[in-house]
Amino acid sequence: MEADRKVKLVLGFGDQRREIEVNVPAEDPIPWDATTKFSVVGTAAPRADGVAKVTGRAKYTHDMNLPGMLYGGFVRCPVAKATINGIDWSAAQAHPGVKAIHDFKVKQTRYAHQHLIAIAAESRQALEQAIALVKVDYKALPHAARFEQAMVDGAPQVHANRPNIEAYSPSGREKAVQEAMQSADKVVEATCTTQVQNHCSLESHGIVAHWEGEQLKIWASTQATFGVRRDLADAMNVDEANVQVICEYMGGGFGSKFGAGYPGLAAANLAKLSGRPVKVMLDRREEMTDVGNRPDSVQTMKLGVSKDGALGAYKVDIVGTPGVGRGAGARNPMIYAFEDRLVARTERAVATNAGAQQAFRAPGHPQGSFALETILDLAAEAIGMDPLEFRIKNDPHPTRKAQYKDGGARIGWKNRKPNGSEAGRFRRGFGVASAVWYQIGQPQGAEVLCRILRDGSVQMRNGSQDIGTGTRTLMQIIGAEELGLSLDRVVPFIGDTRDPIGPGSGGSVTAPTVAPAARQAAYLAGKELRAVVAKAMGASADDLAFSQGQVVHQKDATKSMAFADACKLIDQGEISALGKRSKNFQAFEGTVGGVQFAEVEVDCDYGIVRLKKVVALQDAGIIINRRQAESQLNGGVIQGISYALFEERVMDRQLGQMVNADMEMYKIAGAVDMPEIESVLYDVSNGGNTTGTAGIAEPTMIPTAAAIAGAVHNALGVRVTSLPMTPDRVLAALAQKEKGK
Amino acid sequence: MKNFDYARPQDVQSAAAALGKAKGSRPKGGGTDLITLMKSGVLTPPLVVDLASIPGLSGVSRLETGHFRVGATTTIAEVAEHPELARVARVLTDAAATTATPLVRNRGTVGGNLCQRPRCWYFRNLDYVCSKKGGQTCYAAEGENKYHAIFENVTCNIVHPSNLAPALWALDATIHVAGPTGEKSIPVADFWVRPEEDISTENVLEAGEVITGVSFAPEGASTGSAYHEVREKQSYDWALVNAAVRLDFEGEVVKEARIVVSAVAPIPLRLEACEKILKGQKFSDALAEAAGKAASGGATPLRDNAYKVHLIEKCVKNTILDAARRAKVRSGEPR
């Protein structure tokens, strides 16, 4: 066994460099750092599956059609709360084409459109007819579908065993914060509200289940293939070894697709009962009402600030509703990034008769960011300081410090006028907000298999999934980089649990978890190949390296040979190596930084916010694929704009249904609503793992709404404290300003 | 979706005959609204009669009278991009260009746009047996009503969804209809039905009747027209309020004015009070402002839609200004 090595690495970016010494385990290659010269890493590589996707050759779960396949769907209860006395499905069972019925055995429903039973039928049409034939005997009960309905005294209790309002343990320090406020030069206060946001993945939740004896084969639209495997093995009482989950392509998850869920349980059970493959794909209303959302929030804040712009004590009370789920905390972590803050925090979750919350791209952060950046802007305004200067003064993060200045120049911050100094119908404004994220990958979270074949082609294999972030291409790039090959020689495989383990795609974890394992796999396979070649040419393996499709003899170039020729020397037909994930080591910063700027024009006649430009700057560690990292950044901004201006779940106070459970009245930003987006990636040699990769899927969406709100504030001279910033809310803020004059 | 029969007749008479036979049968233009309603179960027609294949029902033509005729199955895109219509009926081409998305404009038809059903989320939800669907309650009255009516909202709080409707009314268009008893022409002003008259429909068409086209006189040289639509999203959204304005000038004096608004009441509304303020007056920004202010007269907003009262005032004002710009009475580019 070879020994570990101690190596010095140069971390950082631009003129901010730092040298660290790390211990590299024998099985790992020397970590990439600021001195590494790359050939394909960091280029704008096309997606490995781009052509398959745009030509329709890529088969999503929704596209799966197996011989004899049945269609599964759900009978649901239309009211927000009910006791289920009985369900008569005899007519449905007798309906032509109906093959199986699975009962979820629900006795009490707690939100509108909760699933009761699942039916499988020969066709979608027979399924819909059968669903209509089921008679549900239910007694509707008083409900609290809306936040304000659940908060009042004597409100209908959502859960039988606990009150609607659940308080989390407060941070304490109330008294110290109060005292500190008294000595502050200025104290600003605000209450911000944010809406419930739905995930709206383009591909809805769905699973195709197919039993072959004891073997369960699953196609799932999921962000956790191995999570689905575990869920279904547990639920169906079979060995995980007998469950195969396939997700070669999937149309988005954003946090809502971690497990098999009830659609998966329905498909597996209906398939078992009928002896036929069963496909369950949710329709849009089901997607909107019964698979999760981002909780809303009411955040009441108080912040002390000194005349020179130093932040003082901070007090925040957070209330949000997880529906029938648990936990609705808004996170505003930026305040912790500001050093030595004195913070008092109280938090409550309010249960409502509405679908349960689920993880959603940076859970808690966009809502927390909107509120926190609001109070920061108000503090800057109160002491007459430029809000950008205010942040530069208070934010210690090295990357963000650089991004504030860089982004300010790019958006044209110098053209920013004092708040509210614009007049007339169309008013311009500029805003800024920031993000923090933490992800450099899970130790032991992934294994990648690298196979070098006799013909010189290479496979990189991992069983997790590419939820759209480009994990498949990432493995291809890393394999190519490590083995000195062009991308077309490396074929990546992802999305089949018969391949090695990988993480669920949550917390922006996938890239920084898979990348180092992929690199180790290619490194170890390459090492074996070097040994084979060294033996054949009578050289030392240590003198051999991979570069530009060659196995290069570093001391005697005449001995170099083509990679493909080298592979012909592999006696056993192929070399394969399993790359594992070593522990993380010291990183440049514990967190990655992001800053976004927005320029808006507000139509004050109509209260319409139009975006002119967004500049998004994001620290992404060492960038593996520039094209997809930029795409990730653009996507975060687009979703952030949509959250800022349009998206909102509307719950009816009468029957308690979501009344806009479609893509028409649940409004999502479209192409015409998009401004110019300038996405600026910060290549930061991050350390932390052997590829220096950091996850960025989530932070890119966090600060967008807050930056837009800041720009609207600047344009109007009044803060819109409620999301989304629709005409009614913008006009209300303007009217309030008029009243205050 | 419920099973249904489907017919593709080759002439209007057969279409009318087929539609008259089975109660609840529906004509189909582009189908962008009809199919959605059928999927949600709000409409369950036994027969869908596709008008798309009827020759002569599509296209823009000039009549002997000098009027223009737009066939019922002409697509919204065709209207939006018609260069001659842009000269003689700008209010209409503006409205068409504002409609939905390129995809919907390519499929949706003029007849379908006029006859589409309201977007009220209670009406479109089968679980809400609202008064428009034969129930006792208008759920919008006390429910979630930020997009609902601010005028004439006594019985039912829907807003009329057609954006071509106010534009055609501003042009004083005529709607041509064929039915079992033959053909007839209906002034656009008489086409609409208030909920108080018949809550189940929004227009005067009887079973078996289909729109064959619309016609209108071209705008004169001293006429300016404009259409504005205020909405939350700029891509694919429904109007919060809209306004169609046609102004005929004599010099700088407003000789004739047509101001029609929609998305604010169960049917499109002609605002004669606003027209009166303009008529016979020398045009000025202050005049437009005054007319805009008058647009909200008699508004009865609900809990969540008072902002639309402000919007309709501003929308009417701005549309008047743009109509005057088009007639070169006021300087500047229409926005």
Compute how many other C-beta atoms are within 10 angstroms of the C-beta atom of residue A569.
Answer: 15
How confident is the model over B86-100, as a mean pLDDT?
97
Kindly state the DSSP code that residue A37 receives in the 8-state scheme: P
Tokens of A536: 């054949």
Which residues in chain B touch residue A670, judged by CB atoms under 8 angstroms apart? 101, 233-236
Q: What was the pLDDT predicted at A329?
A: 81
Contacts of A596 (CB under 8 A, 6+ apart): A407, A432, A433, A434, A435, A614, A615, A616, A617, A637, A640, A703, A704, A707
Nearest to A655 among B1, B127, B311 (CB): B127
Flag if B144 and A664 touch (Cβ within 8 Å): no
CB A698 within 8 A of CB B203: no
The model's pLDDT over A57-104, given as tens digits with 9 standing for 90+, comes to 999 999 999 999 999 999 999 999 999 999 999 999 999 999 999 999
Cβ density class B183-193: b for 16+ within 10 Å, e for less = eeebebeebbb
First and final CA of chain B: distance in angstroms? Answer: 43
CA A423, CA A673: separation in Å to the nearest integer? 24
Flag if A670 and B236 touch (Cβ within 8 Å): yes
Q: For residue A17, is it left (φ>0), alpha (ψ between -120 and 50) or beta?
A: beta
Which residues in chain B touch residue A655, judged by CB atoms under 8 angstroms apart? 127-128, 139
Residue in B with minimal Cα distance to A608: B232
CB pairs under 8 A between A and B: 81
Q: What was the pLDDT predicted at B204?
A: 98
Q: For residue B123, is it left (φ>0), alpha (ψ between -120 and 50) or beta?
A: alpha
pLDDT for B335 beyond 90: no
Per the document, the length of chain A is 741
Give the phi and the psi of residue B241 in degrees, each rounded to 5. -150, 155
Nearest to B237 among A78, A660, A667 (CB): A667
CA A489, CA A564: separation in Å to the nearest integer? 10
Q: What was the pLDDT predicted at A455?
A: 95
Tokens of A391: 């942040």
Tokens of B275: 């027209």
Q: What was the pLDDT predicted at A333?
A: 76
CA A430, CA A709: separation in Å to the nearest integer? 9
Residue in A with minimal Cα distance to B144: A652
Flag if B143 and A664 touch (Cβ within 8 Å): no
Which of B310, B312, B322 is the best substitution to test chain A (most A C-beta atoms within 10 A)? B310
Give the phi and the psi of residue B30 in degrees, each rounded to 5. -80, -25
Q: What was the pLDDT predicted at A336?
A: 62
CA B27, B30, B34, B35 torsion: positive or negative? positive
How confident is the model over B288-295, as a mean pLDDT?
98
Q: Assess A672–B contact: CB distance below 8 Å, yes or no.
A: yes
The model's pLDDT over B15-63, given as tens digits with 9 standing for 90+, comes to 999 998 889 999 999 999 999 999 999 999 999 999 998 999 999 999 9
- Per DSSP (E only), the strands in A41-147 are 70-77, 82-88, 98-103, 108-109, 114-121, 135-140
Q: What was the pLDDT predicted at A506?
A: 92
Q: Of B120, B159, B190, whose CA–CA distance to B301 is shortest?
A: B159
Nearest to B144 among A645, A650, A673 (CB): A650
Which residues in chain A touch residue B147, judged by CB atoms under 8 angstroms apart? 665
Q: Assess A645–B contact: CB distance below 8 Å, yes or no.
A: yes
Which residues in chain A touch residue B121, judged by CB atoms under 8 angstroms apart? 650, 659-660, 665
Domains and CATH numbers, chain A: 24-45+443-580 (3.30.365.10), 61-141+205-281 (3.90.1170.50), 296-355+366-439+588-740 (3.30.365.10)
Q: What was the pLDDT predicted at B121?
A: 98
Flag if B233 and A653 touch (Cβ within 8 Å): no
Residue in B with minimal Cα distance to A662: B121
Chunked into runs of 10 residues, chain A (741 residues) has average pLDDT values of: 88 93 96 97 97 96 97 97 98 98 98 98 97 98 96 95 92 91 96 98 97 97 98 97 98 96 98 98 97 97 95 93 90 68 90 97 96 97 98 92 97 98 96 94 94 97 96 98 98 98 94 98 98 94 96 93 97 96 92 96 98 97 96 97 98 97 96 97 94 95 98 98 98 94 71
CA A113, CA A285: separation in Å to the nearest integer? 9
Flag if A610 and B3 touch (Cβ within 8 Å): no
Q: Of A445, A447, A303, whose CA–CA distance to A383 is shortest?
A: A303
Which residues in chain A touch residue B125, judged by CB atoms under 8 angstroms apart? 657, 659
Q: Count how many Cα atoms sit within 13 Å of the Cα of residue A191 in the half-sphere of its side chain.
A: 4
Flag if B143 and A652 touch (Cβ within 8 Å): yes
**Confidence label for B334 from pLDDT (cuts 50, 70 and 90):** confident
Residue in B with minimal Cα distance to A668: B233
Query: Which residue intervals of chain B are DSSP H helices?
Result: 12-21, 34-39, 76-80, 83-88, 90-98, 102-107, 110-115, 139-142, 164-170, 272-278, 285-294, 307-326
Query: Which residue intervals of A237-364 are DSSP H helices?
Result: 261-274, 284-289, 334-337
Flag if A78 and B144 touch (Cβ within 8 Å): no
Which residues in chain B touch residue A667, judged by CB atoms under 8 angstroms apart? 232-233, 237
DSSP symbols for B10-28: SSHHHHHHHHHHSTT-EEE
Flag if B144 and A653 touch (Cβ within 8 Å): yes
Kindly state the DSSP code that residue A170 receives in the 8-state scheme: P
Give residues 588 to 617 of A whose Cβ lies within 8 Å of B.
Answer: 605-608, 610
Q: Assess B144–A contact: CB distance below 8 Å, yes or no.
A: yes
Q: Assess B155–A contact: CB distance below 8 Å, yes or no.
A: no
Flag if A726 and B232 touch (Cβ within 8 Å): yes
Which residues in chain B touch residue A671, judged by CB atoms under 8 angstroms apart? 235
The model's pLDDT over A284-341, given as tens digits with 9 standing for 90+, comes to 999 999 999 999 999 999 999 999 999 999 999 999 999 999 988 888 777 766 656 7
CB A515 within 8 A of CB A445: no
- 């192929």: which residue's tokens? A574
Nearest to A727 among B232, B236, B318 (CB): B232
Flag if B125 and A659 touch (Cβ within 8 Å): yes
> Quick one: three-class SS letters along A679-696?
EEEECCECECCCCCECCC
